Structure 1
Amino acid sequence: MLGVIVSEVALSVLVYDLTGSPLLSALAFALGFLPYVVGGTLLAGVADRFPARRVLVGCDLVCAGCVAVMALPGTGIGALLALRCCLAVVAPVFSGTRMATLADVLGGGDLFVLGRSLLRIVAQSALLVGYGLGGLLLTVLSPRHALLITVGTFLCSALLLRLGTRGRPARARGTDAPGDARAGVRRLFADRRVRVLLLLFWLPAMFSVVPEALAAPYADALGAGSAGLGLLMCALPVGTVLGELYAGARLRPAARERIAQPLVCLTLLPYLGYLLRPGIVASLLLLLAAGAGSAYTLGLDQRFVRAVPEELRGRAMTVLSAGLMTVQGVGMALAGVAAEAAGVRATVAGAGALGVVSGCALALAYRATESRDGADRHMTGR
């Protein structure tokens, strides 16, 4: 993850150096989100059809090769953007396979929930460190040389996975035709509980990224400078880490499941505070509170694992990961459009209001689904 984040910073700078275009520089960053949906649908079956270690090592080697070509002096802007898309297509296959393997290693119970939470904490920490590290490296290295560091991180990851994990058989043998990964995805979406759970993960995430997408103009409006911008960018990840640490260490599994639905309704409520025109300190506190509310994901994780058949677990995690990244990219793009018309504060507050309404609606839908399934099981005697 550190390598990926360093590559995002370096690639954005490299594209700007080559073109002088802020739009293309931003597009290089956005392409890290949007192609996820391609890998999450067309390649989702890979996570279950092949042994997990082979998939994980293969993904790392493909990514190392793509970044190595990016670092070559003759690679032009079109090739750079195309290779960036390739990384984004492979990424959900890797993350989905990793999460499904985590469930194999830790079981489908509370240990899996805590393990998944720990990986999210590592991811948020890598985000905080990676942007600072990327900026620091670019003061002493050219962007192409910085990309070589990313090649090294992918190769190290592949080596760690090959030597540090146990070989496990493929999860699903012959359940789908080799070219029909979409069949398993259709099975997932045919289950109403899985559909609602996916939306419970995705919709709050789409609205939660709005303050990050608009951090630069908001910091400028506050007169907070680059230091204030850095603090605003860090506040949500720090809140997320604190919330997940507390929920994982202090709450029992039953308590985490109980608070999941109330938290998904309330986690974006602090964004409404932007209507009060808060200063930098109050804004940071609002973002910290919203980040801490994302601990609802611990309660949803266990429900999601229970709802998904084991033979589809890999592609379910791949679809979940791909959807998360895609909706965040869409959320960032829509935030920019809305801010042009309504201003930054109104856009963030509107995202909070929409997040609260959608969270409440989905929580009610999930409760109704659980009640209906429980009644069906009672009627059939199962």
Structure 2
Amino acid sequence: MLERSGSALYSALAFMVSYLPGIVGSVALGPLADRLPRRALMIWCDLARAVVVAVLALSVATEAPLWLLTGLLLFAELFSAPFDAARAALVPDVLTDPADFHAGSGISRTLFQLNQTVGLALGGLVAYGASAQLALWLDVASYLVSAVILLVGVQHRPAALAGAPRGPDVRVAVRSVLDDPVRRVFIALGWAAGGVLIAPEAVALAYAVEHDSERMGGALIASLPAGAALGAWLIARYPPIIAVRMIRPLLAAGCVPLLLSGLDLGVYPTMALWFAAGICQAFLLPIMVVVTLLTPAERRGAVGGLAAAGFNAAIAISFVLAGWAADVFTPADSVFAAGTLGLFVLLAAHLAWPGRELDAVLDPAPAESSQEPSR
């Protein structure tokens, strides 16, 4: 898209489209993770994606029109939303100890970011070295393997809302988030900060082209998720209480590399800066852990879907704005502006921080002992 249009905005729009199914699917289908057995839902989502991608592979072989291929790809992505909601809601049922859940979530996020870094590169090599059709059939195989692992390795559990009357799940999820100060602030912070700090990915290709280093565009894009993988692995090694206290310092530290990117130091120094910014994205892990643990088990799918939809929307908006700023000014200026916005997000988080409520959740013993009569 960048090569054809010469516009960073159009390039960012191409990335943004991939997030649209996540926005719609998370809101509309996320509550299914509460209404249906979560393991079964994940298996059916894997099978559905395998079927759709298989149709996509066959369509590629018959040289089907581009609009049909794009539609099939976006349709397959719709099933990722309920799968992710069910997975996020199921993990606390498997890892019941908060410390274990925090560590397990760190491993999961590390692997996810490594998949973004390595998986995309390997997929591109397969598509370039062999064929796009082979890459799609390997994708089909991965979904089938995932379904078998879930069937064999995960215990069946009944639906969290089994037998409950149908209701406005999304409305209830919104109300449960708004009524709780910790969930309200943490989810809003995840949306705002996550959207701001991912801005470099939107202009990485444009930055590489501007510096006559088109071949480094993929490495620039990968630098952020590579750093995020390391950051998630590091923060998962700390106790949950310490990790929560690191949220605001990490957000502040994550803005610094984006601000320094405004100096336009060149491809390799900028790659190092964005890798460092990715490490600082570790603050997203304790946000997700706290929100999940504070949400009743029977509402984790709906609340998780709502949070995922907002996060995807924030990323989509960030991509558009970053691409527009890169066209009007430069890619480096666009990333600098994102770092500046990050400081405003940090200020808002500081002013709205639910310190008292958070202390009561993380360390309730002092609050309880303070109410006991002295002896």
- Fold agreement, TM-score > 0.5: yes
Deviations 1:109-152 (A, max 9, x none): 01111111111110111112112212211234332332122111
Instruction: Write the mapping of 1:1-382 to structure 2, written as runs, cut at 5 A.
Output: 29-73=15-59, 74=62, 75-107=64-96, 109-177=98-166, 180-191=168-179, 192-226=181-215, 228-249=216-237, 251-367=238-354, 370=357
Please state whether the residue corresponding to 1:35 is helix, strand or coil. Answer: helix
Shift of 1:62: 1.1
Please state whether the residue corresponding to 1:177 is helix, strand or coil. Answer: coil
For 2:283 and 2:198, how far apart are their aligned partners in 1?
16
Answer whether contact 1:55 1:94 (CA < 8 A) is retained.
Answer: yes
Task: Spell out structure 1 runs of 4+ moving beyond 6 A.
Answer: 22-28, 371-374
- Identify the range of structure 1 (339-348 vs 85-94) with the bigger mean alpha-carbon deviation: 85-94
Shift of 1:373: 8.6
For 1:202 and 1:215, how far apart are their aligned partners in 2?
21
User: Which residue identity is paired with 2:313?
Assistant: T
- Identify the range of structure 1 (330-339 vs 50-59) with the bigger mean alpha-carbon deviation: 330-339
User: Which residue identity is paired with 1:51?
Assistant: P
Answer whether contact 2:57 2:137 (CA < 8 A) is retained.
Answer: yes
Under a length normalisation based on structure 2, what TM-score does the superposition of the two structures give?
0.86
Answer whether contact 2:193 2:342 (CA < 8 A) is retained.
Answer: yes
- Identify the range of structure 1 (348-357 vs 208-217) with the bigger mean alpha-carbon deviation: 208-217
| 1:140–1:168 CA distance, 2 compared to 1 (3 A) | same
For 2:31 and 2:356, how far apart are their aligned partners in 1?
27
**Over aligned residue pairs, what C-alpha RMSD do you find?**
2.8
Under a length normalisation based on structure 1, what TM-score does the superposition of the two structures give?
0.84
Answer whether contact 2:262 2:333 (CA < 8 A) is retained.
Answer: yes
Deviations 1:56-107 (A, max 9, x none): 0011111111111212234433322222222232212111110111110001
State percent identity of aligned pairs: 31
Answer whether contact 2:205 2:218 (CA < 8 A) is retained.
Answer: no
For 1:107 and 1:204, how far apart are their aligned partners in 2?
28
Shift of 1:26: 7.6
Answer whether contact 2:177 2:303 (CA < 8 A) is retained.
Answer: no
The residue that corresponds to 1:7 in the other structure is: none
How many residues get paired? Answer: 356
Gaps of 5+ in 1: 1-11, 17-21
For 1:90 and 1:160, how far apart are their aligned partners in 2?
18
